[in-house]
Amino acid sequence: MENDRYAKELEVAVRVVHVACALCRRVQEKLFSNDSDHVLSKDDDSPVTVAEDFSVQATVSWLLSSTFGVENVSIVAEEDIQTISKDDSANLLAAVVNTVNESLALASNYGLQSPESTLGNSEVLEAIRRCNSTGGLRGRHWILDPVDGTLGFVRGDQYAVALALIEDGNALLGVLGCPNYPLKAESLNYNYQHHHETMSESSSLVCDTSEKGCILYARKGSGEAWLQPLISRDKVLEWPNYAQLIRVSSVDDPALATLCEPVERANSNHSFTAGLAHSVGLRKQPLRVHSMVKYAAIARGDAEIFMKFARSGYKEKIWDHAAGVVIVEEAGGVVTDAGGRPLDFSKGMYLECLDRGIIACSGITLHEKLIAAVYASWDSSNL
C-alpha cells in the first residue's frame, strides 16, 4: 500500500533520533556540571562540541547501517573524517568512542539493535567515514545534521538533531529532535527578552523549565506531522511512544504573526529581513532562535514565519533545511525560496538553485504577501 511506503524508515529514524537526543542531553549535562574539565570547553568550537558532533554522527550511522544494511545506507552529513583521524586527535577520538559505546548500549531501550560487543576505534571511525555521500539527483540518501545550532547547545539554549530521507532528489521523511524545546508554548516567551548574542546562561532553557524536549516528524504526502516528548533514559520505550498531531497556526494577519529568524548575524541579513517584515505589516518583535528549531516553532503553531536571506557568498546546506521543510509542509505550512519555488534538494550538499533566500510560513496568505514584498523591495536592498 502507498500509505505504508517508508513506514519502517520513518519509525527507525524517529527511534534513532531519540537515541541521538539522549546522547546530546548527557553531553550537555556534563558541560553544565561543576566539573572544571567540561566548563573549560564552553565555546562553539571546543573539544566537547566537536566530539559531540562526531559521536552523534557515528551513532546514527551505526544504527541505520545495522538496521538496513551497510550496503543500503548512504548518508550525507556535515562532519568529515579528517579532523578526528589526525595523529594529535587521540584524546578526541577516545572521547567519541566512549560516548558512542555508551549511547549504543542504550539503543535497545528504544527498540533498536545494540552492538554485541564494544566498538573499537576503527569501527567508530568506519561509521563516521560512511557519512561521506554527496547526495544528488539519483538514489536514496539520509541527510544528517548531528548537532544543528552548536552555539545554542553550548549556551544551554536551542539546538536540534536533524535527520531526513531524500530519494531521487525528493525529501520524503523529516525527523527533528529538539532536546531543549519547551513542551508548553508559553515557555517560548523568554526569547523576546533574552535572545541576544550576549545572552547569559541564567536565561537559558536548561535552567528555565524541566518540561522540555521533543521530536517532530513527518512523511511527505501524509498530511500529518507528529510530536513526541523525549523519553528519559531510565525508561524503556514501548513503541509507539505517545505522540500528538501538530498543525501550523491559523493566524494570517501580519500584525498578529510572529517571525522567527536566526540568532547569528554571520550568515543572515537581519536588516533586509527587518525591512521586509515592516513592509508587510509585521509588528511583533522577532523570535530569534538557534538552529532548525525555527521550523519546529512554525510546525507546532508557536510562530508563523521564518525568513532567512543569506549574505553574499554563503551557500545554504541541505542538512540545515530538509527535515524541517518536510515537517512544516505536512503540518500545513508552505516553504519555498524567495522566488516562490520549492527548495531543490537534488543538487548535492547545497541548495544550489536557491533564489535569494528561504521563506517558510504557516499558510499561503502570509506567504504570498512576503513573496510579493521580496520582489517589491529587492532592487533597493543591500544584498
Answer yes or no: 157 catalytic: no
Which one from 67, 150, 273, 336 is the annotated catalytic residue?
A: 150
3-state secondary structure of 365: helix
Res 42: pLDDT: 40
Res 48: pLDDT: 75
Res 147: pLDDT: 94
Which one from 53, 157, 337, 344 is the annotated catalytic residue?
A: 53
Res 251: pLDDT: 96
The residue type of 307 is M
Give the homologous superfamily in CATH for domain 2-246.
Answer: Fructose-1,6-Bisphosphatase, subunit A, domain 1 (3.30.540.10)
Domain residue limits, the chain: 2-246, 254-380
Answer yes or no: 209 catalytic: no
Q: What is d(CA 249, CA 333) in angstroms, rounded to the nearest whole number?
A: 9
| Identical fold between 2-246 and 254-380 | no
Cβ atoms within 10 Å of 320's Cβ, excluding its own: 22
pTM above 0.75, yes or no: yes
* Spans in the chain with pLDDT lower than 50: 1, 36-43, 190-209, 380-383
Q: What is d(CA 271, CA 269) in angstroms, rounded to the nearest whole number?
A: 6
Asked if the bond preceding 240 is cis, omega within 30° of 0, the reply is yes
Q: Which three cell numbers stand for residue 337?
A: 525560496
The CATH classification of domain 254-380, taken from the options 3.40.50.1820, 3.30.1340.30, 3.40.190.80, 3.40.1180.10: 3.40.190.80
The residue type of 74 is S
Binding annotation: 78, 145, 148, 320
Listed in sequence order, the residues at least 6 apart from 240 whose beta carbon sits closer than 8 Å to its beta carbon are none
Listed in sequence order, the residues at least 6 apart from 186 whose beta carbon sits closer than 8 Å to its beta carbon are none
Q: What does the pLDDT look like over 149-177, one tens digit per residue?
A: 988 888 888 999 999 999 999 999 999 99
Binding annotation for Mg(2+): 78, 145, 148, 320
CB 197 within 8 A of CB 372: no
Res 50: pLDDT: 85
Q: Catalogue the long-range contacts made by 243-248 (C-beta closer than 8 Å, 24 or more residues apart).
A: 246/216, 246/299, 246/300, 246/301, 246/331, 247/301, 247/331, 247/332, 248/298, 248/299, 248/301, 248/304, 248/328, 248/331, 248/332, 248/333, 248/362, 248/363
Q: What does the pLDDT look like over 180-214, one tens digit per residue?
A: 999 877 656 544 334 333 333 333 333 344 589 99
Instruction: Please name every residue paired with 162 in a beta bridge, in sequence order, or none if there are none.
Output: 145, 176
Res 186: pLDDT: 63
Q: What is d(CA 365, CA 342) in angstroms, rounded to the nearest whole number?
A: 17
3-state secondary structure of 328: helix
